Structure 1
Amino acid sequence: MKLSTFGSALVGLAVAHASTVEYSAVTGYFLQDEDSTDASTFDYTAENFGLINRSYPADQKLKNQASLTQWERFHHQVVKLNEESAKNVEYKVLFLGRHGEGWHNAAETYYGTPAWNCYWAELNGNSTATWADASLTENGIQQAQKAHDFWASQIKSQNIHTPDAYYVSPLTRALQTANYTFTNLALPHGATPFKPTVKELFREGISIHTCDHRRNASYIKSLFPAWRLEDGFVENDPFWNGVEGETSDAEDVRSATALNEVFFGKGGKVQHEGAFVSVTSHSGEISSILRVVGHRTFRLNTGAVIPVLVKAVKSGKGEIGSVTSSPSWTVSPHCTEPPVSSVTACVCPSSAVPVTTPLVTGA
């Protein structure tokens, strides 16, 4: 078990007399937990989502364990962990899914990362593609469909317990990925229907790139009118300004706040109902969540999924404190014209000195 002390670090950021949370990744259940598993080559669809073939302490209480699949026994193990834990402790399995390839991913590959970061990413697109709040490419759609097909096979062959709750980033590529992944799955009888909650704080790390600027709430509702925008979700993006970007520390504060709400609700009550949770998000945000829960670094390819068993311990009797401050953001100088060199580093033309003002005012 790897412990994260991030929750206790929030004490200085929270209101007085509030409860705090300590998260830990409970390892030993998934191949992704192990240092020997190479994230760059790992294929979750070839490895049963990475679930390790092993016995569990809770197996001893199963009379028919020989007839159950690995996923059925694992679900039983998680249920028992919650039943036998203290009232202030909650275990959840987070299925962290990265969106499929977006047009911003394709553009970064085309231009190269240095040129992308210092000029092209600050634009809305070029003559052939738009990457502001990027949509999925055809390859990205296929990656999401691959996830859909794998969930379908796991439901049929493994009787996997499908998510009890679905959350999705408000950025278009994540919305589309969740839709392609979970819509029209033949869910088991009694399973939670796929009607996800769009959650602001599960968005990508916020940079000056236009791909990190979400469209308005009305646009999201027009795409998926049956989906729920979380309480307090505002019409226009409240964070992106094209000038400043989050640091890793600032993103981790945001991720911890989101996890607090998933595990304990905005009122701070332990959410024992539903231990399996799907979060469709982004590479940077998933990396942040893994840091918060103390899991080892595991960078996902586009469209990939990592399940993590997480233990949350709430300390204190009050509500979980609202974050009242966070680490500072940083400005990011960039070129005003295409760079003249960007093989290993970005070099702006001599006539276009780096600036910190946005190249576009909207996305």
Structure 2
Amino acid sequence: MNSPPFLRFTTVTGYFHQDDPATDPDSFDYVKSNFGLIEKQYDEHLGVEQIDSQWRRFDAHIKRLNASDTKKLKVLFLGRHGEGIHNVAERKYGTKKWDDYWSLQDGDEDGIWVDARLTDQGRCQARVAHAAWEQQIEAGIPSPESYYVSPLNRCLETAQITFQGLGIPGADPFRPTIKELLRETMGQHTCDRRSTASEIAEEYPEYRFEAEFPEEDKLWDPEVRESNEHRNDRLRALLNDIFAHDESTYISLTAHSGAITSTLEVLGHRRFPLVTGAVIPVLVSVEKGAPSQPESQSS
């Protein structure tokens, strides 16, 4: 198989509140803010200002730019999974004891967190995301044309609850593509060791695996924890693969805190931590080019 061409991708700022340094991640509510879309008019002569929906104006603006520019703009909807059993355990023991001992165990008397599953609260957070998407669909948000999901169970279930039954293209039935590289920081922590492909397929029969997805988890190492730099390289490779093979403008990725942190970093987006279940959209410019450090650009 030929390697995909190197692509340069950078965040385009000025469209979402989350890329504004004045927006506080700790208090920002994606549900109450239309996913963060900034209300604005666009300087163009296509009657965009006559469109009654801010999301439809945004979509018309993006289509105009994509029709006339060598760069292609894409919108990533990055969703973090709902609360998992491992999240509860870390709060219970504290981060230091969790990192030093408990994260290396399979579980405790309260549950097993190998390939951690959602808690009831985590499922509730996914239902909140589902309702938020319903609201935004009514407001004219462009539906994702492609859906990608981490192979870890907490993401598989979060994505299903979030998108199944929305009645939009690609989500009825919901058949996302499982991407091996879209995982949490890998190694040591048992919550980040995935199930076999057969077990995943049995529980989520309508989900699709990317090509050459291995039966066994070959990436998780019980002795070595992945560094932030290596995680960044992994997510950069994932984005390069998606952008090289997927022509979609609107793309959904359901992933993890660490994976989303690295995605934002390699895109040149400001750091914006997400609580469990939250969503952040990012406008990205994609073009062929030589490797370079990420940099954001303003609208």
Does structure 2 conserve the Cα–Cα contact (< 8 Å) formed by 1:57 and 1:77? no
Task: Specify the alignment match of 1:83 in structure 2.
Answer: 67
Q: Which of 78, 81, 86 is residue 104 of structure 1 equivalent to? A: 86
Quote how far apart the aligned CAs of 1:82 are: 1.4
Task: Specify the alignment match of 1:132 in structure 2.
Answer: 114
Quote how far apart the aligned CAs of 1:315 are: 2.5
Structure 1, gaps ≥5 residues long: 1-14, 266-270, 321-363
1:239 paired with 2:219, answer yes
Does structure 2 conserve the Cα–Cα contact (< 8 Å) formed by 1:132 and 1:212? yes
Q: Which has the larger radius of gyration?
A: 1
Q: Which of 149, 165, 177 is residue 184 of structure 1 equivalent to? A: 165
Quote how far apart the aligned CAs of 1:20 are: 2.3
Does structure 2 conserve the Cα–Cα contact (< 8 Å) formed by 1:49 and 1:307? yes
Does structure 2 conserve the Cα–Cα contact (< 8 Å) formed by 1:131 and 1:211? yes
After TM superposition, the structure 1 = structure 2 runs for residues 258-269 of structure 1, keeping only pairs within 5 Å, are: 258-265=238-245
Task: Specify the alignment match of 1:307 in structure 2.
Answer: 281
Deviation digits for residues 244-265 of structure 1 (CA, Å, limit 9, x no counterpart): 1111111111101110111112
* One-letter amino acid matched to 1:46: K
Q: Which of 225, 248, 252 is residue 205 of structure 2 equivalent to? A: 225
How high is the TM-score relative to the length of structure 1?
0.77
Quote how far apart the aligned CAs of 1:214 are: 0.4
Quote how far apart the aligned CAs of 1:195 are: 1.3
Does structure 2 conserve the Cα–Cα contact (< 8 Å) formed by 1:90 and 1:263? no
| Partners of 1:138 and 1:153 in 2: CA distance | 23
1:69 paired with 2:53, answer yes
Q: Which of 10, 30, 33 is residue 16 of structure 2 equivalent to? A: 30
SS at match of 1:258: helix
Q: Over aligned residues, Cα RMSD in angstroms?
A: 1.7
1:248 paired with 2:228, answer yes
Does structure 1 conserve the Cα–Cα contact (< 8 Å) formed by 2:5 and 2:244? no
More contact order relative to length (CA 8 Å, sep ≥ 6): 2
Task: Specify the alignment match of 1:341 in structure 2.
Answer: none
Does structure 2 conserve the Cα–Cα contact (< 8 Å) formed by 1:152 and 1:186? no
Task: Specify the alignment match of 1:167 in structure 2.
Answer: 148
Quote how far apart the aligned CAs of 1:91 are: 1.3
How high is the TM-score relative to the length of structure 2?
0.93
| Partners of 1:107 and 1:224 in 2: CA distance | 26
Quote how far apart the aligned CAs of 1:90 are: 2.1
Deviation digits for residues 47-84 of structure 1 (CA, Å, limit 9, x no counterpart): 000000001234x2126x43430101111111122111
After TM superposition, the structure 1 = structure 2 runs for residues 195-344 of structure 1, keeping only pairs within 5 Å, are: 195-265=175-245, 271=246, 273-315=247-289
SS at match of 2:13: coil
Task: Specify the alignment match of 1:333 in structure 2.
Answer: none
Deviation digits for residues 119-174 of structure 1 (CA, Å, limit 9, x no counterpart): 00001100121111100000000000000011011112x12111000000000000
Does structure 2 conserve the Cα–Cα contact (< 8 Å) formed by 1:100 and 1:140? yes
Percent identity of paired positions between Structure 1 and Structure 2: 44
Does structure 1 conserve the Cα–Cα contact (< 8 Å) formed by 2:81 and 2:254? yes
| Partners of 1:305 and 1:231 in 2: CA distance | 27
Quote how far apart the aligned CAs of 1:197 are: 0.2
Deviation digits for residues 11-65 of structure 1 (CA, Å, limit 9, x no counterpart): xxxx8xx84222110000000011111111111001000000001234x2126x4
* One-letter amino acid matched to 1:192: G
Task: Specify the alignment match of 1:355 in structure 2.
Answer: none
Deviation digits for residues 326-362 of structure 1 (CA, Å, limit 9, x no counterpart): xxxxxxxxxxxxxxxxxxxxxxxxxxxxxxxxxxxxx
| Partners of 1:203 and 1:119 in 2: CA distance | 22
Paired positions, count: 288
| Partners of 1:173 and 1:42 in 2: CA distance | 23
| Partners of 1:208 and 1:77 in 2: CA distance | 45
* One-letter amino acid matched to 1:62: G
SS at match of 1:291: helix
* One-letter amino acid matched to 2:237: T
